[in-house]
């Protein structure tokens, strides 16, 4: 019994530290990131979310990130980074056709255009709302893969900022 309590006493802080600093696995629901995630609507992807990438300011255009929804803070959403602070982005149905992403913000979009609540709905997202970067699909086994950091050619910013706190692709 002593060994069990000793293991728990050491295991819980190590586990919490890992989840808080390194990352965790999460289920991705919905079609907004098709075809990158959940390409078949009957199947759900589980991804490893790296907290380390966000904490080390290692977010680039094309990365898929998890963030707190600006519409509903109790909900987390997953989207692709299209523009970083200072970039000029052509929007898809936002109230302005062209937006310069303000300092401390980024522009995020779902891959399934028209089926996503993203920056085209609520505008630039504060970088502070980012919680993690999606690095790998870990389930189902036939989809095991690293998630590429590719930005669709048609979504490359009109003008890319010369310097940002976040690395450029």
Active site residues: 32, 79
Cβ–Cβ < 8 Å for 48, 134: yes
**In sequence order, which residues have a C-beta less than 8 Å from that of residue 98 and are 6 or more positions away?**
88, 89, 90, 91, 158
161 contacts 84 by C-beta, under 8 angstroms: yes
């Amino acid at each position: 019994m002593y060994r069990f309590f000793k293991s728990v006493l050491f295991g819980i802080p190590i586990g919490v530290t890992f989840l808080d600093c390194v990352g965790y696995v999460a289920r991705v629901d919905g079609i907004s990131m098709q075809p990158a995630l959940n390409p078949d609507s009957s199947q759900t992807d589980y991804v490893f979310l790296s907290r380390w990438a966000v904490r080390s300011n290692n977010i680039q255009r094309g990365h898929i990130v998890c963030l707190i929804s600006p519409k509903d803070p109790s909900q987390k959403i997953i989207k692709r980074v299209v523009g970083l602070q200072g970039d000029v982005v052509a929007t898809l149905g936002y109230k302005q056709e062209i937006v310069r992403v303000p300092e401390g913000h980024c522009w995020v979009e779902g891959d399934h255009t028209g089926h996503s609540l993203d920056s085209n709905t609520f505008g630039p997202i504060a970088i502070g709302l980012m919680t993690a970067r999606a690095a790998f699909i870990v389930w189902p086994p036939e989809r095991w893969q690293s998630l590429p950091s590719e930005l669709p050619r048609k979504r490359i910013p009109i003008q890319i900022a010369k310097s940002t706190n976040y690395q450029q692709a």
